[in-house]
Amino acid sequence: MSPLTAALATTHEALYPRLDMLLRQVEAIAARKPEGDVPAETLATAEALLFDTRRFAGRGTGRDLAPAPDSFGALATVLGQALARLAAFETAHSVWSGPHNGFVWRLPRGELRPVARLRPHTALPVHAGDDRETARMRAEIVRRIAAKYDEGFDAGRKAAAASLSTPPSPGMSGG
């Protein structure tokens, strides 16, 4: 694998989502028509991305990716191989870091930098003032729901009492 630098990590983080997105689109089309011809624009994009992934291969491996094929099925295969190459590079150059609460790139001189693509998305901290306001709003909502329930219960009880005290109309007899 190529030695990791901060610039290479940045390139990887920019390349991975673009390649992944193109692969998903090509796979969706390939599922319907694997032998279909790939449009020239898509082919050009694929070739540029495939060219950029070459730097993430091991030196002397002789395992360059095939050129971008012109059918959707074959292109999906080649793009999948390129994405696997990026994943292998990431695995070889990153580790879990407890203090960072996520995976980090192992840069030269022991420097650690979070892998942005894998960075956990955490909730925003709640402030004490927000807790009091939230509790007040919650109590108001509960009070309003209870009041509506009581109104409905009383209205139902009155309607039931009224129906019991009212004699049946002449047309209502079951006879």
Residue 68 structure tokens = 């971008």
Q: Check pLDDT > 70 for residue 175.
A: no
Task: Report whether pLDDT(14) > 90.
Answer: yes
What is the chain's mean pLDDT, rounded?
A: 83
Q: Is the pLDDT of residue 124 over 70?
A: no
pLDDT of residue 3 exceeding 80: no
3-state SS, 73-117, equals HHHHHHHHHHHHHHHHHHHHHEEEECCCCEEEEECHHHCEEECHH
Looking at residue 157, its pLDDT comes to 86
| Structure-block tokens of residue 14 | 């920019």
- Inform me whether the pLDDT recorded for 29 exceeds 60: yes
Alpha carbons 17 and 1: distance in angstroms, whole number: 20
pTM over 0.85: no
Q: How many angstroms separate the CA atoms of 69 and 44, rounded?
A: 11
Mean pLDDT for the stretch of residues 119-134: 63
Per-residue confidence band for 149, with pLDDT thresholds at 50, 70 and 90: confident
Return d(Cα 71, Cα 33) in angstroms, integer.
9
The structure tokens listed for 124 are 């925003």
pLDDT of 121 above 70: no
Q: Model confidence at 66, in pLDDT bands (50, 70, 90)?
A: low
